[in-house]
Structure 1
Amino acid sequence: MTISYNWLSEYLPVNIEPERLSGILTSIGLEVEKMESFEEVKGGLQGLLLGEVLDVQQHPNADKLKLTRVTVGGEPLQIVCGAPNVAAGQKVVVATVGTTIYPAAGEPLTMKVAKIRGVESYGMICAEDEIGLGTSHAGILVLPGDVEVGMKAADYFKPFSDVVYEIGLTPNRMDAMSHWGVARDVCAYLSHHDGLPAKPVIPDVAFKVDQPSLDITITVEDTEACKRYAGVCIANVKVGPSPRWMQERLKAIGLRPINNIVDITNYIQHETGQPLHAFDYDKIGGKKVVVKTLPDGSSFTTLDEKERKLSSEDLMICDEASPMCIAGVFGGLHSGVTENTTNIFLESAWFNPTFIRKTSFRHGLRTDAATRFEKGVDISNTANVLKRAAMLIRELAGASIASEVLDVYPSPEPKKEVVLPYQYLRKLSGKLYHPETVKSILESLQFTIVKEGIDAMVVQVPHHKPDVSIPADVVEEILRIDGLDNIEIPTSITITPSVEENYLGERLKEKTAGVLTGAGFTEILTNSITNAAYFTEEELKNSVKLLNNLSNELNMLRPSMLQTALEVIAFNLNRKNNNLRLFEFGKTYSTSGVGEYAEANHLCLYASGQLVESSWKGKSAAADVYYLKGVAEALFTALNIKGAAFEKGDNSDFDASIVVLVGKEKVGEIGLVKKSLASRFDIRQPVLFADLYWDELLQNTTSRVQFKGLSKFPQVERDLAMVVPKSLQYGEIPAQIKQLRIRQLQDIRLFDIFESEKLGHDKKSLAVNFTFLDEEKTLTDKEIDGWMNKIMNTLEKNIGAEIRKQ
């Protein structure tokens, strides 16, 4: 939400400095995220002076240049000028040496003494585009002859300047989506803290009908979607530019002035928070306005010239025969105000927020009006705002009010009543408030005190606060105005220990995070809402789509953790952070039918780039699938998961993949992400991904850890080299050896792989280390040789290994 300081100050009873106002806004819950100066003319014409050209002579060394003498109130200045229209006696704008000018296009320029074709020049006679006053560069800007020489250009032109606040509104604060609403909160603050009976200075509306010359009939068929609809006819409208003061205010908050009618509706919307819509009266068929829904699939062409298929739930503003506008969202192409419009019908209404929100998302039309209607506008102010706008159009467009205000409001909305117990206020706020203080604050926010009791008070909620419905909401309003900083810090704090439902799971998460961060990984947290365009039709079959998606790019719950992480990896790589080791705990989502949804917990690891940078000690080492496999094995050890195995996988997202098993249960996958998938995120270096199914891991972990003393007997290591088929997976070797049930065999470790044409194109040599240990005695060479012979015989027989004995 953008707020203009000058505009807001018009509604405040006292003048407040911009810095203090910024602090007040933040303290009452309207956090100022940015405060900056706005200048209609960049630089504000500072340093520029009005001068007079005393004489003009031909430049001695250039045909197209003139040598002028210009006075700005002191010693005449010699200035070289190339403008064709410069002449003696002209009043002009002069940029003297040291002045910085801000052209309409281009970079700022600071004046220096310059030598132009051999003649020194002490400044510049300015064209309007050179100082940001326009776009013309046909010649210098010539002013009326009665201007005062030496006057500051800023004092003469009076360029508009303002201070603009960017307020970070929470979604419930529709009451602050206008300058009136913000002024109401500021006045409540002043009343409470400064002791001033401050009230917003809201303009009075002296509405009157000039001549009832235009008739219109309003019918509301869908009273659930439209509880109040008001309109007025305005004749003899002259569409043209809006006045400068209105254009300045609209520009300050980032709106582009269009014409007086459109600008007035935009101005009123940002002044009061109530969207309006103007129709060309002469284009309304049958002079009837009907608020209703149309059959599903009906066609309607909107202002952007797009034909849209309507839903039977879209509320429409129609005339006797056809639709004119999508209510509260977007106007129609054929009913809007143009430069030829002479009569208008002006609408002000209250539309059901649910209807507007669904229609807005359904058609992808996120307009300012829809944003306000979907949060809930002030239904009590519908007609008053309409009158205010009508009188502005009368004043600024030379029009006349041609009808009474037609206000269709069949069932006036009652105000909500909330009971606020004083004890509850104290409990929730942590502060003891006097009932009179509470009453004063609430009345300054336009709440009505219905009843005051010993233990509680009953308050009536104004219509501009649709978010207030329970006592906690009222407490929040009191705290906002009083200030959270004014709550006393207690001298003691009572804490009730909580019992976590999933204590073991959370403890193991912490342990896992500790292991991974110790291994150089960084934890990330990505959005569980993602883009359906990332996935194939097959992957989308059981996916969970969002009915009201936040945007076209965020329209479904993720079926995989990989794609959202690739966004993070791409973000880092684009900023030269090329060596990444990341992990994330998160959920994926799926559906098996209407209303049947499932969530799955995951622990995902990501690696890309170099694990070790090259240095004088050695070469660099890049991450690969075996690195992530090793990290997974370390995690299983830390989590006390027994019997983990790794087999070759066939995941279509991977160029190479490993399936992780515990027993016969699949608990994860590790792989190299396909180049085609990575390239969709503009990633050009390999990305490794391990997806571990957290729920399955927890089922296989053993919380009890057993310890035993270190053996007092030495362990013995033996190495074995063998030639095996290249297609053989290493996992087959320990699997065969384990069948021998050699109790003293403690560990099997692959430490070298060698391939060569001498071995054969379909062969490879593996070097495996074996560790033996007996807890009860020292092993002998004879025992170890016997076990090694068994191992060699088994490998030769079962997998065709050729044992290399030298």
Structure 2
Amino acid sequence: MFVSYKWLCEYVDLSGISAEELAEKITKSGIEVESVEVLNKGMKDVVIGHVLKKEQHPNADKLNKCLVDIGEEEPVQIICGAPNVDQGQKVAVAKVGAILPGNFKIKKAKLRGEESNGMICSLQELGIEGKLVPKEFADGIFVFPNDVEVGQDAIQQLNLDDQVLELGLTPNRSDCLSMIGVAHEVAAILNRNVKLPDPSFKTSDEKASDYISIKVEVIKDNPLYAARLIKNVKIAPSPLWMQSRLMAAGIRPHNNVVDITNYVLLEYGQPLHAFDYDRIGSKQILVRRANDGEQIVTLDDQKRELTNGHLVITNGTEPIALAGVMGGANSEVVNDTTTILLEAAYFNGQTIRKASKDHGLRSEASVRFEKGVDPNRVKMALERAAELISQLAGGEVLEGIVEVNHLEAQPKSINITVERINEVLGTSIEANEMVDIFNRLQFEVVEKEGTLTVTVPTRRGDIAIEEDLIEEVARLYGYDNLPTTLPVAPQTPGKLTIYQEKRRKVRQFLEGAGLYQAITYSLTSEEKAYRFALEKSELTRLALPMSEDRSVLRLSLIPHLLETAKHNRARQMEDVAVYEIGSVFIANDENEKPSEKERLAGVLTGIWQEHLWQGEKKQVDFFVVKGILDGLFDLLGLSGQIVYKQAKRDDMHPGRTAEIYLQEELIGFVGQLHPFVQKEYDLSETYVFELALAILLNKETAPVVYEPIPRFPSISRDIALVVDRNVSAGELEKAIVKAGGKLLKDVKVFDVYEGEHLEAGKKSVAFSLRYFDPERTLTDEDVMRAHEKVLSFVKEKFGATLRG
């Protein structure tokens, strides 16, 4: 809701309170003011000018040379390209030295050889959105009414010296979808009075009931329908003050009658609609449900097919409006309209919501009906609009309101004790102070022996129970004034679970290693769902998917991470290293609910390390990714239980992929994408991994044991073992560790050789072994005994021989 500060001043005395101060007070009372917009946007020296003379520019077909009186001693020459500029017009002129929005400064200039001393402005150039500018001025300059005075401040005349507060209303506060509703709120906050309009007008001797009758078939959908008939209306532009207020509220001006209905909608929060009486085609208004397949052309010139779920206003046979949403083109007020049927009604919010949603039409009217209008303000708004039409359009209001009224709108009465309010708020507010708060809200209240009986006006449909009254007391007492109290219940300090602590460590480690966290969709396409899945599963399909690309729940995190890498590389981000911790959804049957399992996945491509000074670059490869995972397993205390086994998996490179086992349980895989998949995603050499994170984090590990710095030296031995090519280095390392006993503290691979100096089908794997005893210095004999055990064991198990 956009609230004009100057307009609000007509209902509440805001003297001594700036727009910014008011915004802060409203926000502190529970309604967020999202912004305060200054409409003039820093403009100055823009005045009203009178075009005395207009002639064609001698050197340009689309420019005009204008002589303009701007209220100074001599008129000035201004070159203007607007197609609608003409002699005799009153226009907005930015003088030389003026500043327009965007800090645009106006200077003397020469255009095609002719001097220009200023600029004749359109509303868009004065900072008003194009969609709000009246259609007749959308493609040219704005023309003021003739009664404005030359030399006056154009900013003031256009109401651009105003400030607009944007309220971020929650759905329950529909009472503030009107200026009067906001005025009640502000008056309560400031403890000031509200000045409301008091409509009055003369009626003619003719009776409205002689011209129209009303029948409502669906009382539940439309318990109140009221109408007035107004004759001899003259359609013309509405006054400038009304146009400027509508534009400040985000509504485009049309003509005086339509603008009045919109103005009253903003003022009272009650939607109205004006029909051209002569175009209705009958003397009857029938409100009913539409027939299936029935059609109506609405004011936006769209043909809309109706169903029995939609409420329509008809002339007895043919729909002339989609009730509460938009009028029909067949009864629209046009330039030659002279007689108006003015409608004010109370429609069921759910019925209006359905029609609005079905047709994709969310109008200012439908929003208010959906959220709820004040039932006791329906006819008040009708009277206010009739008054304005008689004043601004010369209309003659016929005697009487024609109505069907089955609406029962009684204010709610709620009892609550002073003790209960103080107990909930933790305060000690006196009863008389609470009574004062409810009086400021204009709620009737009676206090008797500590019990308050509060009668809530119908404009506050959000208040129905005790807790709502407690909230009102808290709001106006001031949230800042509520004391700080602790809950009475027993408390335990909050902390992370062991699982959460470990997951946080995983994130910190990966980000410290240089990977960025990504968050991708849980929904994917059926084609991508099975790719890279760590375990087999049935797909979990959505009943009503947004699209085919988001129709099933994912089984792996990798496909969308690859999309992330592709997206970055398409924008010249060649080096990508991302990870994600998220859930996959595993189901044994299509009809059963899936179980959620947490996974960790990563995608790395491009340069991993670069030292420009040394001219060194390190591309991501298998061992970079494996090194990151080894560091992660070491952090979790699992490095001794992890085994990598070469594997072949779909979409992965057949020679550069390993499955990862925790003891004997498969927990993930790591490797390079298959070249075909890399090409599919337009990626260079790319490595991925995915781990069953829940298994890793739930695995119990031995507590960390700290050892003193060794006092005795260690002894290293290097061996090169010749084995069959299919024997992995990991298997050899595991065997060496097993055979080495307690003296063998460290084993590392430092070379692998295959070539002409070895037999066909053989390879050499070189290891560095470090022996150490923390209690004594080892002798060569000690090391030799342990070393011989290692050599004997690998020879027996793998047929390994020492390379000569």
| 2:268 paired with 1:272 | yes
Residue 167 of structure 2 corresponds to 167
Residue 803 of structure 2 corresponds to 805
Please tell me whether the aligned partners of residues 539 and 590 of structure 2 are also in contact (alpha carbons under 8 angstroms): no
- Residues 379-411 of structure 1 show CA distances to partners (whole Å, capped at 9, x for unaligned) of 44344334434554555555555673424435x
Question: SS at 1:34's partner residue?
Answer: strand
Q: Report the alpha carbon displacement of residue 456 of structure 1 after superposing the two structures with TM.
A: 4.1
Residue 255 of structure 1 corresponds to 251
Match of 1:643 among 641, 651, 673: 641
Residue 477 of structure 1 corresponds to 472
Q: In the alignment, residue 805 of structure 1 is paired with which amino acid?
A: R
Residue 219 of structure 1 corresponds to 216
Residue 9 of structure 1 corresponds to 9
Q: In the alignment, residue 21 of structure 1 is paired with which amino acid?
A: L
Residue 784 of structure 2 corresponds to 782
Please tell me whether the aligned partners of residues 223 and 346 of structure 2 are also in contact (alpha carbons under 8 angstroms): yes
Structure 2 Cα separation of the partners of residues 766 and 359 of structure 1: 76
Match of 1:378 among 349, 374, 396: 374
Q: Report the alpha carbon displacement of residue 187 of structure 1 after superposing the two structures with TM.
A: 0.4
Please tell me whether the aligned partners of residues 50 and 152 of structure 1 are also in contact (alpha carbons under 8 angstroms): no
Structure 2 Cα separation of the partners of residues 293 and 70 of structure 1: 57
Please tell me whether the aligned partners of residues 743 and 773 of structure 2 are also in contact (alpha carbons under 8 angstroms): yes
Q: Which moved more, 1:787-796 or 1:632-641?
A: 787-796
Q: Report the alpha carbon displacement of residue 630 of structure 1 after superposing the two structures with TM.
A: 3.7
Structure 2 Cα separation of the partners of residues 579 and 178 of structure 1: 54
| 2:438 paired with 1:442 | yes
Residue 124 of structure 1 corresponds to 117
Please tell me whether the aligned partners of residues 529 and 554 of structure 2 are also in contact (alpha carbons under 8 angstroms): no
| 2:535 paired with 1:508 | no
Structure 2 Cα separation of the partners of residues 723 and 299 of structure 1: 87
Q: Report the alpha carbon displacement of residue 249 of structure 1 after superposing the two structures with TM.
A: 1.3
Q: In the alignment, residue 542 of structure 1 is paired with which amino acid?
A: T
- Residues 108-136 of structure 1 show CA distances to partners (whole Å, capped at 9, x for unaligned) of 3432587997x9x6x61655669959979
Structure 2 Cα separation of the partners of residues 84 and 268 of structure 1: 34
Structure 2 Cα separation of the partners of residues 227 and 675 of structure 1: 67
State how 1:622-771 maps to structure 2 within 5 Å: 626-641=623-638, 643-646=641-644, 648=647, 650=649, 660-663=660-663, 665-668=665-668, 691-702=690-701, 704-705=703-704, 717-718=716-717, 734=733, 748-750=747-749, 769-770=768-769
- Structure 2 residue runs without a partner (length 5+): 127-135, 532-537
Please tell me whether the aligned partners of residues 91 and 121 of structure 2 are also in contact (alpha carbons under 8 angstroms): no
Q: In the alignment, residue 459 of structure 1 is paired with which amino acid?
A: V
| CA separation of 1:352 and 1:155: change in aligned 2, threshold 3 A | closer
- Residues 76-113 of structure 1 show CA distances to partners (whole Å, capped at 9, x for unaligned) of 799797999999999999876544568xxx99343258
Please tell me whether the aligned partners of residues 349 and 372 of structure 2 are also in contact (alpha carbons under 8 angstroms): yes
Residue 32 of structure 1 corresponds to 33
Residue 613 of structure 2 corresponds to 616
Identical columns (%): 27
Residue 463 of structure 2 corresponds to 468
- Structure 1 residue runs without a partner (length 5+): none
| CA separation of 1:649 and 1:343: change in aligned 2, threshold 3 A | farther
Structure 2 Cα separation of the partners of residues 767 and 426 of structure 1: 80
Match of 2:241 among 235, 242, 245: 245
Q: Report the alpha carbon displacement of residue 306 of structure 1 after superposing the two structures with TM.
A: 6.3
- Residues 507-557 of structure 1 show CA distances to partners (whole Å, capped at 9, x for unaligned) of 434444454455456667x587x776898688995145679x9x9999998
Structure 2 Cα separation of the partners of residues 345 and 761 of structure 1: 100
Question: SS at 1:46's partner residue?
Answer: strand
Q: Report the alpha carbon displacement of residue 436 of structure 1 after superposing the two structures with TM.
A: 1.8
Structure 1 Cα separation of the partners of residues 261 and 148 of structure 2: 39
Q: Report the alpha carbon displacement of residue 186 of structure 1 after superposing the two structures with TM.
A: 0.7
| CA separation of 1:152 and 1:425: change in aligned 2, threshold 3 A | same
Structure 1 Cα separation of the partners of residues 688 and 164 of structure 2: 47
Structure 2 Cα separation of the partners of residues 323 and 64 of structure 1: 47
Please tell me whether the aligned partners of residues 128 and 137 of structure 1 are also in contact (alpha carbons under 8 angstroms): no
Q: Report the alpha carbon displacement of residue 673 of structure 1 after superposing the two structures with TM.
A: 8.2
Q: Which moved more, 1:559-568 or 1:263-272?
A: 559-568
Structure 1 Cα separation of the partners of residues 594 and 379 of structure 2: 46
Q: Report the alpha carbon displacement of residue 12 of structure 1 after superposing the two structures with TM.
A: 1.6
Q: Report the alpha carbon displacement of residue 188 of structure 1 after superposing the two structures with TM.
A: 0.3
State how 1:442-591 maps to structure 2 within 5 Å: 442-449=438-445, 451-487=446-482, 497-498=491-492, 503-516=497-510, 518-519=512-513, 542-544=540-542, 586-587=582-583
- Residues 260-307 of structure 1 show CA distances to partners (whole Å, capped at 9, x for unaligned) of 454344333333333445566645899453444766x98877666667
Q: Report the alpha carbon displacement of residue 685 of structure 1 after superposing the two structures with TM.
A: 8.0
Please tell me whether the aligned partners of residues 589 and 597 of structure 1 are also in contact (alpha carbons under 8 angstroms): yes
Please tell me whether the aligned partners of residues 415 and 463 of structure 1 are also in contact (alpha carbons under 8 angstroms): yes
Question: SS at 2:437's partner residue?
Answer: helix
Please tell me whether the aligned partners of residues 100 and 111 of structure 1 are also in contact (alpha carbons under 8 angstroms): no
Question: SS at 1:377's partner residue?
Answer: coil
| CA separation of 1:329 and 1:52: change in aligned 2, threshold 3 A | closer
Structure 2 Cα separation of the partners of residues 677 and 246 of structure 1: 64
Structure 1 Cα separation of the partners of residues 63 and 342 of structure 2: 58
Structure 1 Cα separation of the partners of residues 202 and 762 of structure 2: 97
Please tell me whether the aligned partners of residues 26 and 189 of structure 2 are also in contact (alpha carbons under 8 angstroms): no
Please tell me whether the aligned partners of residues 126 and 141 of structure 1 are also in contact (alpha carbons under 8 angstroms): no
Aligned pairs, how many? 772
Question: SS at 1:254's partner residue?
Answer: coil
Please tell me whether the aligned partners of residues 125 and 140 of structure 1 are also in contact (alpha carbons under 8 angstroms): no
Structure 2 Cα separation of the partners of residues 653 and 330 of structure 1: 58
Please tell me whether the aligned partners of residues 295 and 303 of structure 2 are also in contact (alpha carbons under 8 angstroms): yes
| CA separation of 1:232 and 1:124: change in aligned 2, threshold 3 A | same
Question: SS at 1:212's partner residue?
Answer: helix
Please tell me whether the aligned partners of residues 643 and 661 of structure 2 are also in contact (alpha carbons under 8 angstroms): yes
Please tell me whether the aligned partners of residues 328 and 351 of structure 1 are also in contact (alpha carbons under 8 angstroms): no
So what's the TM-score if we normalise by structure 1? 0.73
Structure 1 Cα separation of the partners of residues 678 and 229 of structure 2: 60
Please tell me whether the aligned partners of residues 414 and 465 of structure 2 are also in contact (alpha carbons under 8 angstroms): yes
Structure 2 Cα separation of the partners of residues 482 and 372 of structure 1: 29
Question: SS at 1:635's partner residue?
Answer: helix
Q: Report the alpha carbon displacement of residue 439 of structure 1 after superposing the two structures with TM.
A: 1.8
Q: Which moved more, 1:757-766 or 1:21-30?
A: 757-766
Q: RMSD of the alignment, in Å?
A: 6.1
Please tell me whether the aligned partners of residues 70 and 76 of structure 1 are also in contact (alpha carbons under 8 angstroms): no
- Residues 694-743 of structure 1 show CA distances to partners (whole Å, capped at 9, x for unaligned) of 44334323475555666766555555667999998765655676787966
| CA separation of 1:292 and 1:742: change in aligned 2, threshold 3 A | farther
Q: Report the alpha carbon displacement of residue 604 of structure 1 after superposing the two structures with TM.
A: 5.5
| 2:203 paired with 1:201 | no
Please tell me whether the aligned partners of residues 233 and 344 of structure 1 are also in contact (alpha carbons under 8 angstroms): yes
Structure 1 Cα separation of the partners of residues 737 and 45 of structure 2: 87
| 2:405 paired with 1:404 | no
Residue 348 of structure 1 corresponds to 345
Question: SS at 2:381's partner residue?
Answer: helix
Q: In the alignment, residue 37 of structure 1 is paired with which amino acid?
A: V
Structure 2 Cα separation of the partners of residues 48 and 31 of structure 1: 37
Please tell me whether the aligned partners of residues 235 and 257 of structure 2 are also in contact (alpha carbons under 8 angstroms): yes
